[in-house]
Amino acid sequence: MIQGSFVSMIFKYCDDNKLPLLDLKDFIKVLQYVSNEGKDELTKNYGNISVSSLGTILRKVIELQQQGADVFFGEKSFEVDDLMRIGADGRGMVSIVRVTDLQDRPKLFSTFMLQMLAELYASCPEAGDLDKPKLVMFIDEAHLIFQEASDALLQQIETIIKLIRSKGIGIYFCTQNPMDVPASVLAQLGLKVQHALRAFTAADRKTIKQTAENYPESDYYKTEDLITQLGIGEAFVTLLNEKGIPTPLAHCMMAPPRSRMDILTDAEIDAIAAKSSLASKYNTPFDSQSAYEILTDKLNDAEKKSAEETRAEEEAKEQAKEEKQRPKTTKQEKGILDNPVVKSMTRTAGNSIVRSLLGVLGLGGRGRSRKTLF
């Protein structure tokens, strides 16, 4: 909670000082700035800050950055309207967000999914009880979202799942083991489709028992036993009826998919992406002036000004040193030099020297004859 308060403070500071946070490097630059050069300014206007907490936040952000978060949290920002496009034939379109490279980076995956859900919730208006949802999301390998999620992250996901249905959006979590989904989130899911579970170990049997207890009680099936005997294409199904009451558990045969049950090749994926109208929109790098550039210029200007001030101080010290080392004129010498006769002699001697030099150079003064060899 303390770190969350610091993040809110930083966002407020950036809003007040017109420092746009558009990508991770902006946020990292701001964290570095308020930890050093901008610490006094932030403390004066927004309260005390903990350097250790800022360091913790910075380490977590850098960890996300090392997992490739720059790709997701940069510009151009993802627009949720692109998920709700209507085709030329008036029908909805299926969009596939391919995140196969994130399977070994659960923190990045969970952060990205939370950001997408939060964006959907914030941008979509209240829709009430629609006959058809505006958008249905299927999140495959859902365990990646919850695998290393913090309590704060889980709480936010739970809140969004509770409220996003009023926006006309349905969320489906797909995972092999229902225990991968926290109970607080699982309780918000009105439709459950459970395929077979196999018991090979004592831990598996415990999981199966817990899974069976999460379904409505049935007078027709012994859920705990039958769930291990389901074959290919069979599933237990329960959903909410018209009054929002969970229906009894039903053993169903599933209709086979009308699609190719195979993995697309790289060439096929490239061909599909090339035809997409969104490919050029999101594949073109875009980096506008934001907090990173503004603070970098500010620090460079401050460094240049400091260097100029340091140079001026060094020159002043050197000049003072030269003045100190220069021989001083005694009072007696000064008195002699101030004598009018001496001054006159000095002027006369100076004029003679100048005339002699001009004569040698052939540039004698006016009224004097120029000596020649002929």
> What long-range pairs does 81-88 form, CB within 8 A, spacing at least 24?
81/123, 82/278, 83/120, 83/135, 83/137, 84/134, 84/135
Maximum separation of any 2 CA atoms in the chain, in Å: 144
Radius of gyration of the chain (CA): 40
Assess contact for 27 and 62: CB atoms under 8 A.
no
Mean pLDDT over 136-140 rounds to 88
Residue-range definition of the domain harbouring residue 27 = 1-77
Q: Quick one: pLDDT at residue 329?
A: 54
Average pLDDT over residues 229-243: 88
Band the pLDDT of 359: cuts 50, 70, 90.
Answer: low
Over range 42-52, report the average pLDDT.
79
Please report which residue ranges of the chain form alpha helices under DSSP H.
2-16, 24-35, 39-46, 51-66, 69-72, 106-123, 143-146, 151-163, 183-186, 202-213, 223-226, 266-275, 279-283, 291-325, 331-337, 340-360
Mean pLDDT of 298-304: 78
Residues 3 and 72 in one domain: yes
* Highest-pLDDT range among 4-8, 151-155, 160-164, 279-283: 160-164
User: Does residue 2 register a pLDDT over 80?
Assistant: no
- 3-class secondary structure, 39: helix
pLDDT (0 to 100) of residue 330: 56
> Does residue 116 lie within any of the structural domains?
yes
Q: Please indicate whether residue 222 or residue 329 has the higher confidence score (pLDDT).
A: 222
**What's residue 357's pLDDT?**
43
Is the pLDDT reported for residue 331 higher than 60?
no
Q: Quick one: pLDDT band at residue 1, thresholds 50, 70, 90?
A: low
Q: What is the DSSP letter of 180?
A: G
Q: Which of 20, 54, 77 is at the close of a domain?
A: 77
pLDDT in tens, 84-97: 888 888 888 888 87
Q: Looking at 77, 92, 110, which one is the last position of a domain?
A: 77
Query: Once rounded to an integer, what is the mean pLDDT over residues 215-227?
Result: 84
Domain boundary, last residue among 77, 94, 127: 77
Q: Is 80 helix (H, G, I), strand (E, B) or coil?
A: helix
Q: What pTM was estimated for this model as a whole?
A: 0.64
Task: Work out the average pLDDT over 29-48.
Answer: 82
| Of 144-148, 155-159, 220-224, 232-236, the least confident | 144-148
Coil, helix or strand at residue 139: strand
Residues 215, 182: one domain?
Answer: no
Confidence of residue 43 (pLDDT cuts 50, 70, 90): confident
What is the average pLDDT score of the chain? Answer: 78
Distance, in Å, from the CA atom of 310 to the CA atom of 133, rounded to the nearest integer, reads 66
Residue with tokens 């999460």: 214
Q: Based on the fold, state whether residues 62 and 95 are members of the same structural domain.
A: no
Regarding whether 96 and 57 lie in a shared domain, the answer is no
pLDDT value of residue 267 = 92
pLDDT at 264 over 70: yes
Q: Identify whether residues 206 and 234 lie together within a single domain.
A: yes
Is 111 domain-assigned?
yes
Go through the chain and tell me how many residues it has: 374
